[in-house]
Amino acid sequence: MLERLSLRLRVFLFFALVAAGGVAAVAAGAWLGYRRLGEPEAFPAFVLAGAVGAFGILGLVAWVWLLFDENVARAIEALSARLRARAHADAGAPVEEARARYLGDLAPAAAAVSAKLSETRDALAQAVQRETTRLAQEKARLEALLADVPEGVLLCSPEHKIVFYNGQAAELIGRDHAPGLDRPVFDYLREAPIAHAYEWLLAAEEGDAASDLLCATVDEGRVLSARMRLLRLPEEEGGYPGYVLTLRDVTADLAVHARRERLLEEIFDRVRRPAANLQTVIGVMGPERAQGLDAALAGEVRALTAAITELGARYDEARADWWPMSETRARDLADGIAARLASQGIAAEVTADRLMLRCDAFEIVALVSRLAQRLAEKGRGEALGIAIAADPPGAAIALSWQGEPLAVAELDRWLEEPLEVGLADVTGRAVLRTHGTECWPEAAIGGRAGLFLPLRHARPSVAPPHPAPRSATYDFDLLSRARPAAIAERRLTDLTYVVFDTETTGLMPSRGDEIVQIAAVRCVNGRRIEGETFESLVNPGRSIPPAATAVHRVTDEMVAGAPPIAEVGRRFHRFAAGAVLVAHNAPFDLAFLNRHEAEIGHRFDHPVLDTVLLSAIVFGQHEKHTLDALAERLGIAIPEHARHTAMGDTLATAEAFLKLLPMLRARGMETFGEVIAEAKRHGRILRDLN
């Protein structure tokens, strides 16, 4: 019945009830006092009347306040939190009209506004999507192009923080740990060469100057050839510019060139000594010692010949290493040969195994095509077949035909011919020398003769089971971000966050429970970076109770070969360097990490935000603040198979955290310090949870 009354009438009834109750309490007190008027001591009667009236009014007010708090204050608070979630976090949780049933038409009106907002937002999103489809396609093409640029590309802010990196850069500098947006580039590359090049470019008078430099990775000391160019934006006014680094791994090139230099030094040394000995022998030669000197001379000649032969072979082998070559699919090479022969009117069956060959594909195609052309001209092109097959430790190209074998002298003449018009220096023999190989005829077997050309470098071409596409990762807003020195003064949107979760053997780290799995993701500039994740099983050094396995599904067999917490903790600490740690019930997870700080070698003294406390700030302490309850309020779906897994809970926490951020700002909390100050008021919730 009350639910059908208007809100104004209900508020009036609240106050009418207070007034009526107050009058009734005073009347009851007066009546009791009146009954005692005839007694000898009348004053206590009035005291009794006042006390009864006062306690009656106090009890009435308390009861009315409880009703008001439950049906009005809390209902309004819950209603405003849901509206804020819908407005700022685009959460899909509906407005609870039943809870606000005593607020008259407020709940239905709020539900209507929320539905209209969602409808308008959906319509706007569709319009924006239609208008930006072309831009999205161009952006995707640009990202694909940047991801497959042959060189690694880094874009860094004036503070040397990474703003952009492509897939090649990630492979070059992040083999041990992946690079991250808003991370210092000096976490991956040695500081001195980059800092010096940047200072030189800042001081250079040429506005478009570039600097070539050699730098090394921090972990493995691999040498990278780099080129730095400043990125001066039109809107910059007096500030320091960012810069672009293009990277290429030259470690192997330097090693090969060093081997060549050592080989040349050895050649000169080993040839110089026999030549000097020969000169000495010839200088002292006389008629009476001719026979002995002839023997000595013959020995030195043999030694010189052997040295030259050996060193020449080693030089040819080394030349195959340093000559610029690339990996080519054997089937692509076969297609090139077949296309070249078809253009020359030569019919041939060309086959290839699934191999990756390290060779100069253009030269090999030209050589094999020339040999096939000469065979056809000499009448040996009948039933010509060309096969590229594995020939451990490398591969081999075999040309076969029906008929007589080829003479070695004739093959030698063909190999001395230039392969292409205008390329007189590129002969078949030169191609063989470049690849450190030979080509020879084989006798007819079963009526078929052939030519055999081995290739030294080959490996099976096996597609990875889950190929990871290379992608370009970037956030250009980081270029112009202002960074106050004190973290408390920094805006929430300007911080980098690492959201993490752990799975454990139990709930009591003080009694020996340990971490069995840890996962984390990085959030920069209000979004989660897809490629920047951390996930690892951990060997706890003890058995996992069946009750714990039933929750997170991690078994003893799964962690038997996993690294210990000391190694995983170091990797996680590095992943989280310079970021704010975020977790749901953070004290629980950090307690397991803190007790191993001595083994890990690092302290987890990062700034911390707890989504339990953030939920209490936004939705009020009276609500439930479990991860499931928070996800439900924010419209986040947690798949059942991902619940209570480290990565599944981490992704849910990250999504909830990113939706809570705009809601915190809507309540006037813009900086990290303001959020921490407000969170301290809700610390009792964490004490109750733990």
DSSP 123-156: HHHHHHHHHHHHHHHHHHHHHHHHHT-SSEEEEE
Same domain, yes or no, for 554 and 681? Answer: yes
Q: Which domain holds residue 175?
A: 152-249
Tell me which H or E stretch contains 524: strand 515-524
SS3 content of the chain, % helix, strand, coil (to 5): 55, 20, 30
CATH number (domain holding residue 392): 3.30.565.10
Same domain, yes or no, for 666 and 536? Answer: yes
- High-pLDDT (> 90) share of the chain, %: 20
Question: Does some domain include residue 426?
Answer: yes
pLDDT in tens, 533-580: 999 999 999 999 999 999 889 999 999 999 999 999 999 999 999 899
In sequence order, what DSSP letters do the residues of 649-663 get, joined into one string?
HHHHHHHHHHHHHHH
- What's the pLDDT at 432? 86
- What's the pLDDT at 606? 92
Question: Does some domain include residue 476?
Answer: no
- What's the pLDDT at 560? 92
Please tell me the distance from the alpha carbon of residue 289 to that of residue 360, in angstroms, as a whole number. 55
Q: Which of 131, 87, 146 is nearest to 113 (CA)?
A: 87
Same domain, yes or no, for 295 and 339? Answer: no
Question: Does some domain include residue 145?
Answer: no
Please tell me the distance from the alpha carbon of residue 296 to that of residue 285, in angstroms, as a whole number. 10
- What's the pLDDT at 464? 45
Instruction: List active site positions.
Output: 644
CATH number (domain holding residue 569): 3.30.420.10
Question: How many structural domains compose the chain?
Answer: 5
- What's the pLDDT at 556? 93
- High-pLDDT (> 70) share of the chain, %: 61
The mean pLDDT of the chain is 78
Same domain, yes or no, for 502 and 605? Answer: yes
CATH number (domain holding residue 224): 3.30.450.20
pLDDT mean over 302-313: 69
Same domain, yes or no, for 434 and 392? Answer: yes
Which residue has better confidence, 21 or 547?
547
- What's the pLDDT at 418? 84
pLDDT mean over 121-136: 67
pLDDT mean over 141-145: 63
> Residue 453: pLDDT band by 50, 70, 90 thresholds?
very high
CA distances from 99 to 5, 32, 94 (A): 16, 42, 12
pLDDT in tens, 221-265: 777 888 898 887 655 555 678 899 988 887 766 566 656 666 666
Show the tokens assigned to 436: 């450190």
Please tell me the distance from the alpha carbon of residue 311 to that of residue 662, in angstroms, as a whole number. 71
pLDDT in tens, 365-409: 889 988 988 888 888 767 889 999 998 888 999 999 888 888 888
Q: Which of 84, 237, 217, 244 is nearest to 157 (CA)?
A: 244
Please tell me the distance from the alpha carbon of residue 305 to that of residue 297, in angstroms, as a whole number. 12
- What's the pLDDT at 469? 47
Same domain, yes or no, for 428 and 572? Answer: no
pTM to 2 decimal places: 0.62
Please tell me the distance from the alpha carbon of residue 495 to that of residue 483, in angstroms, as a whole number. 9
Q: Which of 392, 399, 295, 287 is nearest to 341 (CA)?
A: 399
Q: Which of 179-193, 297-311, 639-653 has the lowest mean pLDDT?
A: 297-311
Residue pair 182/159 in contact (Cβ under 8 Å)? The answer is no
Same domain, yes or no, for 565 and 631? Answer: yes
